[in-house]
Amino acid sequence: MRLADLRGRRVALLGLGADVAAAVGEIVAAGPLEVVVVDDRAEVRSGLPEGVSRAVGLAEAASSASVLVRSPGFPRYRPELVAACEAGAEMTTPLDLWVGTHGAGRTIVGITGTKGKSTVTSLLGTMAAEAGLRVGVAGNLGVPVFDPGWDQDAPLVVLEVSSYQAADLHHVPDVAVLTFLAEDHLSWHGGRERYVADKLRLLRNEGGVAGRILVAADGGSAAAAVTGAGLEAEVVAPPVGAPATVPVHRLANAALAAAALAAAGGPRLDDDAVVAAAQGSLPGRLDPCPGPTGVLCVDDALASNPSATAAGLAWLRSLGRPTVVILGGADRGVDPAPLVEEAARWAPGWLRAVVVPDNGGALAAAAGIPVVGAAADAADAVAVALPVVGAGGALLFSPAAPTPAGAGNWASRSAAFRAATHP
């Protein structure tokens, strides 16, 4: 959809999260007949944004609005929303409106995947800027597309796209990047099949097919999904011969970013540049950080699912490091099989866990990882874990689940872990 499509229509804002809140001004300026918001918070109901007429319940919004602008907190498969769309309402998101309205005449790279998308987005933005290109970076990595704080007029725009955003995307980017596919957000999407289908809307939807599609050589899950959908993709492999101390996942992310840069019209980077980018990539993704002498502390706070944690453990296993992993976060009903399979590859006694709420204990039990302690949060977990690790070992904060409600976000947990390992 486009902002112009809102003129003269009843618009319901499903929540006032950061993305929708940043978009309210332009939505109102588009000239809708009425703008209402579905939000039960007292502070919202007592002080509505300018141009929003009233706060309503979801049932009223679904039955009366012809356009629903959705926040992630409102799964698009809720019965009320499904019924509204079947009755003729249109569903969109701020990202969809921004791309439809402002995307013409520039090169847009969209990046999605179960893991790695924030890293690839950040790396691509850095690579483009270092190459002298004017680039704007926004999306799911914490910069709302309607926020004035990023370069919205840049000729090259890099957008991180979550599955929540892709589910209602009606436009395609010039370059689409799919980093990796596993299970995540299943309770929101209603199952793995729908989760994958929603992710693939970045590649193909009502707006057509992305100009170029890049997928990681991740063992086949992403490439197989793209092929199964009848699409053609370029498979991007990481450079060979890199030091073993560089996690292969970071190499894969850097290679994808470099390939996307070239696909978007930028320079082609050689393998040395890709390796260098991997060594300095996004904090929170297999990022070694300061800690006690003889202990390798690794910040993997972005690992919000079992597949991501399994990848980090596989790297540490290849280095021969006895490891204590800090596990736990919000339970989204994701299959722990990748973590179970990786844990089974470790020699007895070489892999142990400290667990944090909500589901750390359940993850460790499912994977058969011995638990050496429980803690309230990441910082407390460090205090429990360090006496157990020992010289030559590794302490890995890789929760395998998203941050629980009320505990901040991945960045705050990352900062807490790093501060505790190096006070």
Share of the chain above pLDDT 70, in %: 96
Share of the chain above pLDDT 90, in %: 67
pLDDT digits (tens, 9 = 90+) for 138-174: 998 788 999 999 999 999 999 999 888 999 999 999 9
Which CATH number is correct for 287-421, 3.50.50.60, 1.10.260.40, 3.90.190.20, 3.40.50.2300? 3.90.190.20
Res 46: pLDDT: 75
| Choice among 34-43, 124-133, 178-187 with the minimum mean pLDDT | 178-187
DSSP state of 4: G
Nearest Cα neighbor of 281 from 263, 261, 308, 300 is: 300
Q: Is the pLDDT of residue 189 over 70?
A: no
pLDDT digits (tens, 9 = 90+) for 58-69: 999 999 999 999
Helix (H, G, I), strand (E, B) or coil at 368: coil
Instruction: List the CATH code of the domain at 100-279.
Output: 3.40.1190.10
pTM: 0.77
Mean pLDDT along residues 180-199? 71
Res 282: pLDDT: 63
Amino acid making up residue 296: L
Res 230: pLDDT: 93
Is pLDDT larger for residue 359 or for residue 142?
Answer: 359
H or E segment at 421? helix 410-421
Q: Is the pLDDT of residue 184 over 80?
A: no
Res 281: pLDDT: 57
Mean pLDDT along residues 110-116? 87
Domain pair 100-279 / 287-421, same fold:
no
C-beta of residue 355 within 8 angstroms of C-beta of residue 380 = no
Query: At a CB cut-off of 8 Å and minimum separation 6, what does 74 contact?
Result: 14, 15, 38, 58, 81
**Alpha helix stretches (DSSP H) within 108-266:** 117-130, 163-166, 186-189, 192-199, 221-228, 248-263
Cα radius of gyration (the chain) = 22
C-beta of residue 68 within 8 angstroms of C-beta of residue 142 = no
Q: Is the pLDDT of residue 423 over 80?
A: no
| Choice among 32-46, 95-109, 120-134 with the minimum mean pLDDT | 32-46
**Average pLDDT along the chain:** 91
C-beta of residue 128 within 8 angstroms of C-beta of residue 265 = no
Is pLDDT larger for residue 40 or for residue 255?
Answer: 255
Nearest Cα neighbor of 381 from 397, 401, 363, 404 is: 397
Res 273: pLDDT: 93
Which structure tokens are listed for 79?
Answer: 């019965």
pLDDT digits (tens, 9 = 90+) for 200-257: 999 999 999 999 999 988 656 788 888 888 999 999 999 988 887 788 888 888 999 9
Domain boundaries, the chain: 3-92, 100-279, 287-421
Which structure tokens are listed for 165?
Answer: 């955003």
Res 183: pLDDT: 55
Q: Is the pLDDT of residue 107 over 90?
A: yes
Which structure tokens are listed for 355?
Answer: 């667990």
Mean pLDDT along residues 115-139? 91
Res 186: pLDDT: 55
Mean pLDDT along residues 169-180? 94
Res 343: pLDDT: 96
Amino acid making up residue 91: M
CA dihedral 171, 144, 80, 111 (to 10 degrees): 40
Third-level CATH fold of 3-92: Rossmann fold (3.40.50)
Query: At a CB cut-off of 8 Å and minimum separation 6, what does 199 contact?
Result: 112, 113, 114, 163, 166, 178, 181, 225
